[in-house]
Copies of this chain bind each other. A is one copy, B any other.
Amino acid sequence: MVRRTRRATIYDVAEAAGVSKSLVSLVLRDSPHVSEARRTAVLEAIERLDYRPSQAAAALAGGSSRTVGVVIDDYTNLWFVELLRGLQDGLTSAGLRIAVSDRTLNSHIESDPLDGFLSTRVEALVLATEPTASMRIPPNMPVVVAGNRETEIPGADLAASDDRLGGRLATEHLIGLGHRHIAHVAGGGGASAQRLDGYLGAMRDAGLAPVVVTPSRATTEETGYAGTMTLLEAHPGTTAVFASNDSMAMGALAAARDRGLEVPADLSVIGYDASPLAATHLMQLTTIDSLNREIGAEVATALLSRLTEPGREPVATRLIPQLVERSTTAAPRRRL
């Protein structure tokens, strides 16, 4: 659960420092007409209360940044590209634009990845990453969570696709091709957990024995490679791998090659996300389209309605994912 905390105002700073609001303004403007003692008191109060002057600036000018901040997990996982496209398309009519922050990139500068956006006065936040307890979201900031997450944010809207259904679709595609030895390479996070659930449900319904490897919470090419290598070592009879996302599937393709297996004849591989990577000529990856562009459009719709009607109840939208068949899945080669 993520706590929303009220941001300190210029009045809080004035009260804490025992000075007037005008004097706080003078300090903020770096005016020479302030004694050192009072300047020190004000600066200490600012630090203690974590007061961010730009928010006061916004209030003063009544201006608007017309910018929506989007926090993503990892630039190298391209699933977010279509999300941003859909989001930008949906926000254009309202004259809003987006700025993106990569959470892993900014993680060592401070505990709260939102700080940068908040001090630059974004009008709303889109979290395309797992929320954490360290995120301090101002009470009146419109927030939409994109994708299924482990943690809920009170008052936030959600736009995602049904990852449980998608995990089932991926598995049933492989079962339908005739595979019986289907393994899942899983990762961490809310979306991965639901995809795993979908896999387990489909395997159970087909009377097949599930094999799951979870090399790490990370869902990268590296973990996909490591997980598939482990899997093929322990279960050499595996004929199909469902990887939790396209980056991991890229690693699974490399593992198959390094084990001397031909894809799809010896090993079928299916990913998830329909990221730009999956569509490359090199990969031509069968995957599940989580409709990220449409999720982006839903996020935009939720944001615009939230900006118009701040008090409305939060809504959760879940889209129906779709199978995209490309070249990495086929019927298993008949064993002699």
Contacts and interface: CB of A to CB of B under 8 A. Distances in A.
Q: For the complex formed by this chain, how many copies does it contain in all? A: 2
Contacts of A251: 280-282
A282 B250 contact: yes
- Counting chain A residues whose Cβ lies within 8 A of the other chain, the interface size class is 35 or more
A30 B64 CA distance: 12
A1 interface: no
Interface string A46-67: 0000001110111011111111
Interface in A83-122: 84-85, 88, 91-92, 95, 97-102, 105-106, 108-110, 115-117, 119-122
Contacts of A115: 97
A212 interface: no
A81 interface: yes
A11 interface: no
B67 A57 contact: no
Interface of A: 25, 28-30, 52-54, 56-58, 60-67, 69, 75-76, 78, 80-81, 84-85, 88, 91-92, 95, 97-102, 105-106, 108-110, 115-117, 119-122, 221-222, 225, 250-251, 253-255, 257-258, 276, 280-283
